[in-house]
Each structure stands twice: as C-alpha cells, then as structure tokens.
Amino acid sequence: MTSVPYRIRRSERARHARIDVSADGVEVVVPSRFPMRKVEPFVEEKRRWIERTLRRMQESELEHPPARMENGGEVPYLGERLELAVRLEPGRVRSHVARRGQLLHVAVGDAGEDAIRDALERWYRRRARQEIAVRLDATVARAGLRYTRLQIRAQRTRWASCSSSGAMSFNWRLLLAPPEILDYVVEHEVAHLEVADHSPRFWRLLASRSPDYRERERWLRRHGHALRL
C-alpha cells in the first residue's frame, strides 16, 4: 500500500500510463480504458522515484523561495526579488500593477491571494512580451533569421515552442527565472528555426551559440517546478 498521495486523470490522448510530479502534487495520467485496479500497483512501483523527485523539489524551493502573495511579500523577476506593496481598493474593477525600483505596487478590488495572483500574472504577461521580444529580435538578427509571430502563453509542460511557420511561443513564467535561463530558452527556440528536431545536428548548432546549454537545461529540470506564483 503506497503512502504517496496522488490524483488520477484519464486522457484519451495517453497511450501509456505515466506519472507527473509537479508543484501541484502527483498526478497519474492513464489511458481512457486503463483498469483502475492497476493504478495503485503502478504508483507503488514508482514510489521511490516519486519520493526522490518530491525531495529534490523541496530542496529546490529552499534555494529559490516561492512567491508570497501578500503585502510585504516578494516575487522573483529575472534574478531579482521584488517586494509587493498591495493596496486594497474596494470597488476597483481593473487591477493595477506598477514597478518602482524594487517595489511592485499592486492595487486590487478584492481581498485575498487570488486577486493579487491574477493581477501579477497579467503584469508578468505584459512584461514577458517586452523582455522576450528584445531578446528574440537580437538573437534572430545575429543568426540571420526571421520569425513570424511572438505569443506569450502559460503552457503547463513547455517553456517555449517554435512552429514550422516560424511562430514563437514563450511561457511568461520564464520571467521568474534568472535572466541567463530566459536568454538560453530564446537561443534554443531560435535554433529550431534552422533545425526543427532535437537531432545531434540541433545540439551541435545550439552548443555553438550557447556553450553552457547543458547547465541551463539542468537548471530548468531542477528548478523549473518552482517558477510559479
């Protein structure tokens, strides 16, 4: 009998059962016809791996404390820690966020963490478009390439993507990482404009432009789960 708490999600797209461990907990994703009696033995078989992963996540959060959604709390921003100055204005319809130095002023109409989080996410999305556009334009210019469109999203399992048409999509949560991580992800996606897959040719190209890419990949694997509000 396993002691690991988990939730189950059936997926019509899943071909095999898998376990996702994230900041939201442990989720077992199973095909639509997967027998429920097999879920618990499957989790028990992977229990040691799950526990190791959860332990590494806890250690990571000690190095990179999560955001605190309250007045006087802090949020990460490209390697900095910004202090929140939250102001409750009952009746306010549209939240307002403005940065002044190391202070992030947040005006919300409703009390509670959810209102602050929603306001901050909208602000981060706007900032992500600006921060990423500058880096992306410079990177494609150096490579002598072009992209067709930039989108800012909140992908659950991806940091970024590059379509066959040259459309670029980036996760706004990258702004919660150090700047060198964002720079690396931009470089990674621009390399996909030349090589669409992750073949040896792709990694050789990326290494020529980002020699420390392995270190950046390791950082994302270790700390990516903590990039959340």
* Per-residue pLDDT, 1: 45
* Per-residue pLDDT, 198: 96
Residue spans of beta strands (DSSP E) within the chain: 7-11, 18-22, 25-31, 74-77, 80-88, 96-100, 103-108, 149-153, 160-162, 167-171
Does the pTM of the predicted model rise above 0.85?
A: no
| Token output for 149 | 């469109």
**What is the CATH architecture of 74-226?**
2-Layer Sandwich (3.30)
Residue 76 and residue 129: Cα distance in Å, rounded? 17
Please check whether residue 30 is in contact with residue 16, taking contact to mean a CB–CB distance below 8 angstroms: no
| Percent helix / strand / coil, the chain, rounded to 5 | 45, 25, 35
| Token output for 42 | 């499957």
Per-residue pLDDT tens, the chain, 229 aa: give them: 447 889 999 999 899 999 988 877 899 999 999 999 999 999 999 999 898 888 888 877 777 777 889 999 999 999 999 999 999 999 999 999 999 999 999 999 999 999 999 999 999 999 999 999 999 999 999 999 999 999 999 987 789 999 999 999 999 999 999 999 999 999 999 999 999 999 999 999 999 999 999 999 999 988 888 898 8
Residue in the structure block whose two tokens are 């690396």: 184
Beta strands 74-77 and 80-88: pairing type?
Answer: antiparallel
Beta strands 103-108 and 7-11: pairing type?
Answer: unpaired
* Per-residue pLDDT, 56: 84
Q: In the chain, which segments carry CATH 3.30.2010.10?
A: 74-226
Residue 171, exposed/middle/buried by CB under 10 A (0-12, 13-18, 19+)?
buried
